[in-house]
Amino acid sequence: MRAWQAPSVPEVPGNGPRPVVHDTAVGKPVDPTRGDDRAALYVCGITPYDATHLGHAATYLAFDTLGRAWRDAGFDVEYAQNTTDVDDPLLERAARDGVDWQDLAASQIDLFRRDMEALRILPPDDYVAVTDEVERIAEAIAFLQETGYAYSVPTPDSEGDDLYFDVNRPTESWALGDESRLDRETMLTLSAERGGDPDRAGKRDPLDPLLWRAARAGEPSWETEVGPGRPGWHIECSVIAGDRLGLPITVQGGGSDLVFPHHEMSAGHAAALAHQPLANAYVHTGMIAYQGEKISKSLGNLVTVRGLLDDGADPRAIRLALLSHRYSDDWEWFDGELASATRRLATWDAWASGGAGHADDADDVVARLRARVADDLDTPGAVAAVDTAVAGGTRSTPALVDVVDALLGIRIG
């Protein structure tokens, strides 16, 4: 599927350091490339049933920053992202609004592309719709049946059977390491909140996730080797990441609401399919709140990128406001943030278009920016480094303006 238009990224002389990022599995920063010169990134994409909100934007911006830091350090980056263009929340929204689910998905994917373009987010090399991969996913599920990882559960409202993954059948690896493993109670709660069905009768373990949903009347379905139906959520990301990037990938990314069950189950599926870990590292962004609650399509407390742009926001200011927070923190958006980012940007613009100041420490500022971003994507530190340069009378050399663009994605001047 078509992604979106790539922003231009200037070449900056020299290279930044190899980035480290916080790996949820081990609870500390790591170099996920493990000495390799290729970096393969998979980021879980949107479920396209509503407009891109600031939480989505912040998540994709964090992985855009990782991509920029890798490129600046000289890596070849391969990036794949899915879009969950068939799933319960999308079908429910389409039914509620009396629209065709495919039209709804297509229109929201289109909006998402425009928002990503406006924010100058690097596009994935491979942007993959789940509906284009159903046969491949079914093939993988058939393999899991043959190898004893998938089993059927009686499904009275369908002619076929739903298929589930047996979490107790040993696999080589999961996403969460020993230190980060959750207790069973927490897993059951999160599973119920995040698309799982621990109370479904007939499962071997309440935590077993759905691999395949057999066709139901009025629901979209595909004819495949595991019968008519549609894929479960976690298997889609395991199969797409493995097919497009090869396992193990360097980083599996998404918001912290995907740590469990989504990334844990995706990793279990990948291990059962390929005897490989899904990823070298699992990187998660914090949740952004608005008016005291996590921004969410289902809660309705949305601040959308489109809404801010329509109100006249400079997309660079939205970017700068988001970059002023640490990607891994949970934080709350306040209405004044855009105004304060807009003021900061005006100062930076004036500085970049003036030629005054001393140029002797400009290289140090370039190095400082690179070091901050490579240190677990410390964009607030990078923003502070630019502020210090502006306030301290450093001249805005072309390399300095370019490194702000290359790493922070903001063209000033």
Which residues in this chain contact ligand 5CA in the complex, by CB under 6 A? 44-47, 55-56, 58-59, 82, 84, 237, 254-255, 257-258, 285, 287-288, 294-296
Nearer to ligand 5CA, 160 or 380 (CB): 380
Tell me, letter by letter, the H, E, C secondary structure of the chain.
Answer: CCCCCCCCCCCCCCCCCCCEEEECCCCEEECCCCCCCEEEEEECCCCCCCCCEHHHHHHHHHHHHHHHHHHHCCCEEEEEEEECCCCHHHHHHHHHHCCCHHHHHHHHHHHHHHHHHHCCCCCCCEEEEHHHCHHHHHHHHHHHHHCCCEEEECCCCCCCCEEEECCCCCCCCCCCCHHHCCCHHHHHHHHHHCCCCCCCCCCCCCCCCEEEEECCCCCCCECCCCCCEEECHHHHHHHHHHHHHCCCEEEEEEEHHHHHHHHHHHHHHHHHHHCCCCEEEEEEECCEEECCEECCCCCCCCCEHHHHHHCCCCHHHHHHHHHCCCCCCCEEECCHHHHHHHHHHHHHHHHHHCCCCECCCHHHHHHHHHHHHHECCCHHHHHHHHHHHHHCCECCCHHHHHHHHHHHCCCCC
> What does the alpha-carbon distance between residue 157 and residue 272 come to, in Å, rounded to a whole number?
29
Q: How far is the CB of 200 from Zn ion (least distance, A)?
A: 21
Shortest distance in whole angstroms from residue 233 CB to Zn ion: 7
Window 159 to 178, contacts with Zn ion (CB under 5 A): none
Tokens 């390491």 map to which residue?
177
Find all residues with CB under 8 Å of 31, minimum gap 6, and list them.
18, 19, 20
Nearest-CB residue for Zn ion: 44
Name the CA dihedral angle for 333, 336, 339, 345, rounded to a multiple of 10 degrees. -50
Report how far Cα 143 is from the mean position of its chain's Cα atoms: 28
- The minimum distance between CB 54 and ligand 5CA, in angstroms, equals 7
Nearer to ligand 5CA, 257 or 405 (CB): 257
Q: Which stretch binds Zn ion (CB under 5 A): 23-31, 231-239, 315-323, 325-333?
A: 231-239
Least distance in angstroms from the C-beta of 29 to Zn ion: 23
Please identify, using beta-carbon distances, which residue of 44 and 322 lies nearer to Zn ion. 44
How far, in Å, CA of 42 to CA of 82, rounded? 8
- Judged by CB under 5 A, how many residues of this single chain contact Zn ion? 2
294, 53 Cβ separation under 8 angstroms: no
**Of positions 237, 287, 400, 410, contacts Zn ion by CB under 5 A:** 237
Per CB under 5 A, which region of 86-94, 133-141, 237-245, 368-376 contacts Zn ion? 237-245
Contacted entry of Zn ion, ligand 5CA, none for residue 280, CB cut-off 5 to 8 Å set by kind: none
Is the CB of 237 or the CB of 321 nearer to Zn ion? Answer: 237
> Nearer to ligand 5CA by C-beta: 42 or 151?
42
Q: What's the min distance (Å) between Cβ of 314 and ligand 5CA?
A: 22
Interacting positions 37-66 with Zn ion (CB under 5 A): 44
Based on the shown chain and the rule CB under 5 A, indicate whether residue 137 belongs to the binding site for Zn ion. Answer: no
Would you give the binding string for Zn ion spanning residues 349-388, x where CB under 5 A is met?
A: ----------------------------------------
Taking the complex as a whole, the smallest distance from the CB of residue 256 to ligand 5CA amounts, in Å, to 7
Say which entry of ligand 5CA, Zn ion, none residue 340 contacts (CB below 5 to 8 A, set by partner kind): none
55 binds, among Zn ion, ligand 5CA, none (CB under 5 to 8 A by kind): ligand 5CA
CB of 391 to ligand 5CA, least distance (A): 31
Partner interacting with residue 24 (select from Zn ion, ligand 5CA, none; CB below 5-8 Å by kind): none
Nearer to ligand 5CA, 301 or 397 (CB): 301
Measured from the CB atom, is 43 or 399 closer to ligand 5CA?
43
128 binds, among Zn ion, ligand 5CA, none (CB under 5 to 8 A by kind): none
Are the beta carbons of 246 and 41 closer than 8 angstroms?
no
Q: Rule CB under 5 A: is residue 245 a binding residue for Zn ion?
A: no
Least distance from C-beta 222 to ligand 5CA, angstroms? 18
CB of 164 to Zn ion, least distance (A): 18
Footprint of Zn ion on this chain (CB under 5 A)?
A: 44, 237
